A and B are shown apart, each in its own frame.
Chain A
Amino acid sequence: MFDPFYPFDWLATQIVTNILGLSLKSHLGSSLHFFLYDVPKILTLVLVISFIVGTLQTFIQPEKVRYLLRGKRTIFGNILAAMLGIITPFCSCSAVPLFIGFLEAGIPLGVTFSYLISAPMVNEVAIILLLGLFGFKVMIMYISFGVILAIIAGYIIGLLKLEKWVEPFVWQLQKNHQKLSENNEFEEISLTWKDRFQQGWYQSSEIIKSVWLYVVIGIAIGAGIHGYVPTNLVVKWAGANNPFAVPIVVMIGVPLYANIAGVMPITEALVNKGMPIGTVLAFTMAVTALSLPEMVILKKVLSPKLLTVFITIVTLGIFGIGYLFNALII
């Protein structure tokens, strides 16, 4: 099969074998090859994909999503919200304005949560790394199960009728909003292609700037594991037979928000040594969907009880996905 990363592989092999004179089977040789192959590959992927995604995302503003979700009732609303979460840009810093903006327009709480779960989970950095490190199939599995989790978790939150646990001022805003004229609802700011490319470029250079060091360090650690850590050690501790592996990686994942780019290459090395893919999916979802900074920000609009319900449902969902995959793949 055609491998677009073949040139990187070839170059890494040449450097290790011809220039350094090491065998690819030696500890040092295989570690170095892993490092020299992964660093340029991942950085190129991040640069190219985040540019494309950043450019395309200028077409989809949250105002448009809100417009599309208005008047949608439960399950259909949940499905639509989770799907829209895939394609819209999301930054944890705009979680609160977005949350208020949705509720203000009369979008049900459960539907709002479906969006709030899916938008950060299906983010470009996680997707790019899954594609680059584990391939297309794993990436698609991650996106589909992320969306299913967002639909179900949002639906359950909707059924529980927890509106009373949202801070009262949000509902006050909703009342004020309804008094405002309705035609001011959805006004798009026109952009030229130059603006869009500029935005895409800005986004991609910002992402590269913020992740490159983590990527390099992460891959260096992964390379060390790849060359030196024996397989049976990994299978014993992180393998499918250890029932605690999934909850443990989820706990580790939550505070790692910004460092996902550094941690994923380490998991790649662990997977090569026998850690099952369900554990990786659970880990990645924990890092993206349950990020600590986002929780801190959401606390401004949610009561601690609602925040706890949200975290519990999402965590259980992630455990479920992890176990399900580990069971299916074996």
Chain B
Amino acid sequence: MIKLEVLGTGCKKCQQLEANAKEAVASLNLEAQVLHITDPMEIAQRGVMSTPALIINGKIVSKGQVITSEKIQALLQG
């Protein structure tokens, strides 16, 4: 199963990214899990300094910005 992790300390941008990720998963009809990690220690341990960030299956695909649902779909397919 695909695992998407949204890293963010709960700010508005982070919530937007989570919503975009869920939308992307839904529109591709994928079996995927979308997690939102808000613990700053956890975020730092993953080597991310600018939130929100998106991790797909353990790989950091975006940092410090809100990417669109379309972009996430492309990343999931590619």
Residues of A in contact with B (beta carbons under 8 Å apart)? 58, 61-63, 66, 89, 91, 93-94, 96-98, 100-102, 104, 169, 173, 176, 184, 189, 195, 198-199, 202, 206, 297, 300-301
User: Could you tell me if A63 and B63 are in contact, using CB atoms closer than 8 angstroms?
Assistant: yes
User: Could you tell me if A297 and B9 are in contact, using CB atoms closer than 8 angstroms?
Assistant: yes
Give per-residue flags for B22-64: 1 if the beta carbon is below 8 A from chain A beta carbons, else 0.
Answer: 0000000000000000001101110111110000000011111
Give per-residue flags for B1-27: 1 if the beta carbon is below 8 A from chain A beta carbons, else 0.
Answer: 000000011111110000000000000
Interface secondary structure of A, over-half rule? helix
What is the interface residue range for chain B against chain A? 20 to 34
List A contacts of B40 (CB < 8 A).
Answer: 96-97, 100, 297, 300-301
Nearest residue (CB) in A for B11 is A93
- Kindly count the residue-residue contacts between A and B in the assembled complex, taking CB atoms under 8 Å apart: 74
User: Could you tell me if A189 and B61 are in contact, using CB atoms closer than 8 angstroms?
Assistant: yes
Question: Which residue in A101, A189, A206, A297 is a CB contact (below 8 Å) of B13?
Answer: A206
User: Could you tell me if A93 and B49 are in contact, using CB atoms closer than 8 angstroms?
Assistant: no
User: Could you tell me if B12 and A206 are in contact, using CB atoms closer than 8 angstroms?
Assistant: yes
List A contacts of B51 (CB < 8 A).
Answer: 91, 93-94, 97
Given A169-B41, A206-B12, do A97 and B65 touch, yes or no (CB 8 Å)?
Answer: no
User: Could you tell me if A63 and B49 are in contact, using CB atoms closer than 8 angstroms?
Assistant: yes
In the assembled complex, 6 residue pairs joining A and B whose CB atoms fall closer than 8 Å, in A order, are: A62-B49, A94-B64, A97-B9, A97-B43, A101-B44, A176-B45
Tell which of B12, B41, B65 has the most Cβ of chain A within 10 Å.
Answer: B65
Complex CA distance for A34 and B66, rounded to whole angstroms = 37
Complex CA distance for A202 and B52, rounded to whole angstroms = 14
User: Could you tell me if B66 and A202 are in contact, using CB atoms closer than 8 angstroms?
Assistant: yes
B70 vs chain A, min Cβ distance (A):
10
Complex CA distance for A41 and B11, rounded to whole angstroms = 29
Question: Which residue in A61, A97, A198, A202 is a CB contact (below 8 Å) of B44?
Answer: A97
Complex CA distance for A94 and B9, rounded to whole angstroms = 7
List B contacts of A199 (CB < 8 A).
Answer: 65-66
Complex CA distance for A255 and B40, rounded to whole angstroms = 23
Nearest residue (CB) in A for B64 is A61
Nearest residue (CB) in B for A96 is B40
B41 vs chain A, min Cβ distance (A):
7
Complex CA distance for A204 and B56, rounded to whole angstroms = 27
